[in-house]
Amino acid sequence: MKLTILGFMGGYPANGVGTSSYLLESAGFRLLIDAGSGSVLALEKHIDPLDLDAVILTHYHADHIADVGVLQHVFLLKNAPNVKEVPIYGHTESIWHTVRESKSSKAIDYSGQEAIEIGPFHVEFLKTIHPVVCYALAITERETEKKFVFSADSGYMEQFIPFAKDADVFLADTNFFKEQQKSSVHMTSEEVGEIAEKAGVKKLILTHLPPNEDWQRLLSEAKEATPNVKVMLAENDMKIII
Ligand SMILES: [Zn+2]
Ligand SMILES: [Zn+2]
């Protein structure tokens, strides 16, 4: 499967980079994971947004759903008068879950308790520590059994270690520096490094990066915490074959 980074800024867009959004492709199936600010423009550089097969939302903070509305407009208007309907997966533990419903989208609920199948992907969930209900995703490509884990937004939780066990790629919320420990909102460089090391992941990608901060310091702090794992910073338009 192929992962493309469409936006990695934490909280708000800055310096031409949008907020959380990732494209995951396998066997011609295209899944958009979160639709942060700027994601439709970023997506257009890679595929026609109309060719998306599904969208999944981890939670309903603005930096993860800002472009849901304009994506629905693409599906409504771009091929008018034909309206294409895109399924948008999300949980219902927020009044904002109705953002998934429109003339050109269909809300599909996940409970977070049971795994679901989306096209070629087997998707498991882990409720995170965050000011609003949010789910991390462990996505396995059924054909190859390759595993991609996305922490979504979360403070540190030990449960990430079994959840991310042996993942080929762990994409982790690294909004904070080493000294900013024990947050109930986001993780630090050191915390995501420790999880990666204990879970034995093959590659750790730092995302949800704080705008206008020293990301090289985040990178070196994470590397220090996980000497055995390849660590990289998210970059826009970066493609990773998993
Ligand atoms: Zn966020
Ligand atoms: Zn959030």
Please give the CATH architecture assigned to the domain spanning 2-241: 4-Layer Sandwich (3.60)
Altogether, the residues listed in the chain come to a count of 242
pLDDT of residue 180: 86
Closest of 171, 181, 167 to residue 234, by C-alpha: 171
Give distance in angstroms: CA of 143 to centre of ligand 1: 31
Give distance in angstroms: CA of 80 to centre of ligand 2: 34
Give distance in angstroms: CA of 156 to centre of ligand 1: 15
Query: What sign for the dihedral angle of Cα 205, 184, 55, 76?
Result: negative
Torsion of CA 133, 53, 240, 224, to 10 degrees: 0
Closest of 163, 175, 205, 160 to residue 5, by C-alpha: 205
What ligand is nearest to the CA atom of residue 155? 2
Regions in the chain scoring below 70 on pLDDT: none
pLDDT of residue 84: 87
Which DSSP helix (H) or strand (E) runs through 31?
strand 29-33
Give distance in angstroms: CA of 85 to centre of ligand 2: 26
What ligand is nearest to the CA atom of residue 20? 1
Give distance in angstroms: CA of 127 to centre of ligand 2: 12
Q: Over the Cα atoms of the chain, what is R_g?
A: 17
pLDDT of residue 198: 98
pLDDT of residue 59: 98
Residue 124 burial class via C-beta count within 10 angstroms: exposed 0-12, middle 13-18, buried 19 and up: middle
Q: Are 133 and 111 in contact (CB under 8 A)?
A: no
- Write a three-state SS string for 69-116: HHHHHHHHHCCCCCCCCEEEEECCCCHHHHHHCECCEEEEECCCCCCE
pLDDT of residue 116: 98
Give distance in angstroms: CA of 209 to centre of ligand 1: 9
Closest of 228, 218, 217, 220 to residue 195, by C-alpha: 228
Partnered with residue 108 across adjacent β-strands are: 89
